[in-house]
Chains A and B, each alone.
Chain A
Amino acid sequence: MTWTRRKFGRLAGASVAALAARPARSGSRARVVIIGGGIAGATVAKYLATSSARPDVALVEPKQQYTTCFFSNLYLAGIRSLDSLTHSYQALAKRYGINVIHDTATTIDPVAKSVALAAGGKLTYDRAVVAPGIAFKYGTIEGYDEAATQIIPHAWNAGAQTELLRHQLESMEDGGVFVIVAPPNPFRCPPGPYERASLVAYYFKQFKPRSKILILDAKDTFFEQDLFEDGWNRHYPGMIEWLPAQFTGGIKSVDTKTRSIKTGGDTFSASVANIIPAQVAGELAQRTGLADQTGWCPIDPLTFESKLHSAIHVIGDATNAGDMPKSAFVANSQAKACAFAIASALTGSEEMMPHLFNTCFTFLAPNDAVSDAINMKPSGGSIKITDIFFSQVGESDEVRRQAARQADGWYNAFTQDVFG
């Protein structure tokens, strides 16, 4: 048997893990700086802090609390409070010793390996993890810029935007038209715009039954379309209309004063509108050269290290990770793979093939949920789907009720995994 450096590293790593007095001497601890405290950033912080590498972990996030985008459509429907979707960073700081810094990272110097903070300080790192989420491509719809979001919300980051949309829906008269503009691929949460239509329809059905919902889509098909269309026919017949780009000629411009949306053909007037713009990787990724011409960040499929800057990893919605959809579940799955890869690199132990998985629970109505389950694995320099399963049209009410109960259990366990 030939002893390779890798095998030696693996054995040495294992012994060190067993023998090292914990915590490691602070002077020699590797430093990892994580930028962005969303699902990806919070997960990678926790799993690194509990890894055998025991690095010094700093998490840079301006907000004091995080409100999840997933399940925020339930808030729009009046079923859940925004408070119940809001999580603090206290457990990460207190239970896991993560240095949570409420500041904004302005630049990253990949040569000096340092991160500059808006308040003036600098953090040096052995490894950095960037999890900036998404930014909106304003300007792809004429008249829709950042100022316009105060009149016509995108509500695609949860918080004030979601509250604004809820207030507008509450003040809308019965018989009004709610227009959702759905974005082109790729975008955060593929079933999200259509789940939003479903749950707002649930709200209308109870309180404003003469109202209509119109979806103007930048696409010609959408995720789990058969499941949604079946659900809409069963729960809200005649209430939701979906118009693909090939029918409207695409979404061209918006007039915020009249809330009218002009397509390639007709102009549609809305009582309440929600424009979900086209998306790219979060602003920091653009500014620090981590995104390529696609607008997304290319990564190594095994370690999530940037293909553009070494020692910087990118995870979550900002990545171009092959077949992986942009979901919170995927962000969490990537974050774990990334944490284990960084821990292996820091200790010299064996890297394991990441287990990459996605499941999304989607509500057609509060007691009617569907799910998907997707296995993915690194292959040919990218990440490919190996297995995919969907709920089926025609499942029994009991199966759907059970999925809705599981969805609630999942939210509790998942947010515990990320923030608890």
Chain B
Amino acid sequence: MPASSLAALAIAAGFFTLNTAAAVAAANERGAELAAMCASCHRLDGHDRGIPSIIGIDRQTFIEAMAAFKSGARSSSIMHAVALQLNDGEIATLAAYLGTRATERKR
């Protein structure tokens, strides 16, 4: 393979990484903005004093819990209202964000 092709490949790979990093950063920022809403009641440092911590919550568990609050299968007027504010995409972004924070915390 000629050197120029290698360089082009390297640039392409770099570009790809860059876009992925940008996408991750954007998703993370969006996750942080959504989690700000949770932070009015749930401490986001992993501690809790009566209102359960949602840091480290398993993604699927979180998504299922939010669905149950939205439908009313799980009873809480406050969480029912919160769930009604969030669409499926936002709930998925939040699930991913809260999971990421758990990973960072364990490091």
Contact = CB atoms under 8 A, between A and B. Distances in A.
Interface residues of B, number: 33
Contacts of B37: 333, 336, 355, 357
Interface residues of A, number: 38
Interface of A: prevailing SS: helix
Interface of A: 14-15, 17-19, 47, 50, 52, 329, 332-333, 336, 340, 352, 355, 357, 359, 371-375, 386-387, 389-391, 405-406, 408-410, 412-414, 416-417, 420
Contact of B30 (A336, A352, A389, A416): A352
Given A17-B26, A47-B36, A389 B80 contact: yes
Interface stretch (B2-10, B41-49, B98-106): B41-49
11 contacts: A17-B25, A336-B33, A352-B30, A371-B77, A371-B78, A373-B80, A375-B84, A387-B84, A390-B77, A409-B41, A416-B43
B73 interface: no
B41 A18 contact: no
Nearest to A356: B85
Given A355-B34, A412-B50, A416-B43, A18 B25 contact: yes
A387 B49 contact: no
A390 B81 CA distance: 11
The winner among B36, B37, B86 for most chain A CB atoms within 10 A is: B36
Nearest to A374: B81
Interface in B1-58: 18, 21-26, 29-30, 32-34, 36-37, 39-45, 48-51
A79 to B, nearest CB: 16
A417 B50 contact: no
Interface of B: 18, 21-26, 29-30, 32-34, 36-37, 39-45, 48-51, 77-78, 80-82, 84-86
A47 B36 CA distance: 9
A329 B26 contact: no
A18 B49 CA distance: 35
Contact of B43 (A50, A336, A372, A413): A413
Contacts of B39: 413, 417
A235 to B, nearest CB: 22
A409 B34 contact: no
A408 B50 contact: yes
